[in-house]
Structure 1
Amino acid sequence: MTPSSTSPVLARLRLRSGAFLLVHRRHPMFIGTAAWSLPREFAAEFPGEGQHLERYARRLPCAEINTSFYRAHAVDTYARWASMTPPHFRFAVKLPRAITHDAGLRAARKPLKDFLAQANGLGDRLGVLLVQLPPSLAWDARVARGFFGLLRESWDGPVACEPRHASWFEPGVDRAMARMRVSRVAADPARQSEAARPGGWLGPDGDGVGALLYYRWHGSPRVYWSAYDDAWLARQAAAPAAWPAGSVPWVIFDNTASGAATGDALELQALTGS
């Protein structure tokens, strides 16, 4: 979303063809960004005193911690982040690449135990564990069952998995992920059509009730950089907003390299009335 001279969000919405194209969702929806940077052009949307996270958390209800993918954080660091946020705020925390990329989900007991001990510093602010897989990692039923079974020994909350190899998008794999209560991320850009929609665990009845629906939008056409245009956001707002009461949709904007994620999140928040 491109900033404008008054409120970057409302001004752009008023200029859009058809005036306000709101897609109201009556039930909670978590909209946020990867990390919590506040680009200068959107600073006015995050008023008040405090550090960036404190200001961010007063306006947006969630954030994704990506730095955990690259390096470990002390439990005290996670606890400090949690202390800066209101009670309703939630974090998604990305698993370390040592587990997902270097080891390919194998031999994960010790590194997974260490990671969870650290991330648990968030307390009740820990909302989701994010497992992003490398494009080269094909589906292996034995490895997946072993890893997610191990994860479930210590974590009973929502798990979102973003696979990127085509073999993960077969119907049988979807059913296997559902049995493990692992939600498949809906990504943009999608490497194939199935990747654009949530999959895996969609709740006991498969209708989204009781499940996490995790949308991860990376920016397009230039991944991590491009802002989404108004028409795209207006169209896409309907999908996460349409899930029924009892579902928990998350939308995380990962196009942070240019600062576009912040504006896109604010616009989607306005579009959905969240």
Structure 2
Amino acid sequence: MQNPLFGDAGKPAKKSGKVVEPAIIDPALIELAQSLPAHLRLGTSSWNYPGWNGLVWNGEYPETNLSRYGLAAYAQHPLFRTVSVDRSFYRPLNVAQFAEYASQVGQHFRFVVKAPSLITDALVRDESGRGMRQNPNFLNAEQAVQMFVEPALEGLGRRLGALVFQISPLPTAWLGQMPKLIDRLHTLLKAIPDLKSIAPDGVVAVEVRDPQWLTPQFVDALRDTGATYCMGLHAKMPRITEQLPILRALWPGPLVCRWNLNPLHGAYGYEDAQALYSPYDKMMDPDPETRAALVRVISGTARAGQNVFVTLSNKAEGSAPLSVIELARAIRADNHPSGNT
């Protein structure tokens, strides 16, 4: 009989404890990271994936351990200079929680943080995601500042990169009320205090999941408040080339982009991608078209000296760490066509 003290035969035991050992990094990736501009920050969405063993972690760790203690190991990867804190979308985080994140990363690391859905979703939803009733706090300026902006700014300090208000898909009946909704968004953005005195790289960005938002009035609201547009690469939204006019209208300014979902899965294919790509350790569906278009935007923004924050999801191509590597290689090739770094 197998001795239970030694786990399954032939399988390494999962590690536990408060220390997550970082993966051993190929020197070529260190060289690649050094070739990129310091104000260009690439990273992933969250960091709690056991399947990243060998890519980000050295060993098998439970997801709960990675969620609590994996950030320090993640931040040691030379290509990861930012991360999207998606957890804050589902439940607001307090100052102490943000400060704990900040304590685990170096001084040049910057966080991209999602606003709580309590502010950015028009509906209150049940556990399955089905809308139950109208959300009274939708785009509420006072709640946005108290529940999200102030705790993130105080807790992260200089390590704050982008505060992202990702507005969930609107009920169909609401799509005919865009001027009114943009006015409400404008009021919210105007209420946000200046970030620069505490977080010099800090920027407020708005991501949407309905193309009906993308109007001149929307651009005016962003420009008037010093906010920017978060380019969301998601099947619910037009491709990059169709979103570029918004960025051009706001130029000059930083680039905030979240590459969320491979378009081949369609607008409602998030769960399909999740099932197909788990445990997120392989490139399953490379998307060179999106990557090439994104590289052009990144390179143009970075060459102008503007900050760039780009985070990638596992659902983009199958494995976010591998997507970051391929994107970084493409950026270097675009900036050094001869191959010299």
State if a TM-score over 0.5 links the two structures.
yes
The AA in structure 2 aligned to 1:144 is: L
87, 99, 108: which one aligns with 1:67: 87
Tell me the equivalent position of 2:231: 186
Tell me the equivalent position of 1:235: 292
Larger radius of gyration: 2
Moved more, 221-230 or 118-127: 221-230
The AA in structure 1 aligned to 2:164 is: L
Tell me the equivalent position of 1:218: 260
Q: What does 1:1-274 align with in structure 2 at a 5 Å threshold? A: 26=37, 28-40=39-51, 42-46=52-56, 51-59=69-77, 60-101=80-121, 102-103=135-136, 105-119=138-152, 120-136=154-170, 138=175, 139=178, 140=180, 141-151=182-192, 153=193, 155=195, 157-190=202-235, 191-193=237-239, 197-198=243-244, 206-208=250-252, 211-220=253-262, 221-222=264-265, 223-224=269-270, 225=273, 228-229=285-286, 231-232=288-289, 234-236=291-293, 237-243=295-301, 244-255=303-314, 260-273=319-332
Taking structure 1 as reference, are residues 147 and 106 closer, same or farther at Cα in structure 2, changes over 3 Å only? same
1:174–1:199 CA contact under 8 A, matched in 2: no
**Paired residues, what number?**
251
Structure 2 length normalisation: TM-score? 0.63
Q: Cα deviation per residue 1:145-176 (whole Å; 9 max; x = unaligned)?
A: 2111112x354530111122233112342233
Equivalent position SS for 2:76: helix
CA distance in structure 2 between the aligned counterparts of 1:231 and 1:89, rounded to whole angstroms = 27
Please list every run of 5 or more consecutive structure 1 residues that lacks an aligned counterpart in the other structure: 1-6, 12-23
How many Å apart are 1:248 and its aligned residue? Answer: 1.4
RMSD between superposed Cα atoms in Å: 3.5
Q: Calculate percent identity across the aligned residue pairs.
A: 24
CA distance in structure 1 between the aligned counterparts of 2:285 and 2:136, rounded to whole angstroms = 34
Structure 1 length normalisation: TM-score? 0.76
Please list every run of 5 or more consecutive structure 2 residues that lacks an aligned counterpart in the other structure: 1-24, 30-34, 60-65, 122-134, 197-201, 278-283, 336-341
1:90–1:125 CA contact under 8 A, matched in 2: yes
Taking structure 1 as reference, are residues 257 and 125 closer, same or farther at Cα in structure 2, changes over 3 Å only? same
The AA in structure 1 aligned to 2:145 is: L
Higher relative contact order (CA 8 A, sep 6+): 1
Equivalent position SS for 1:72: coil
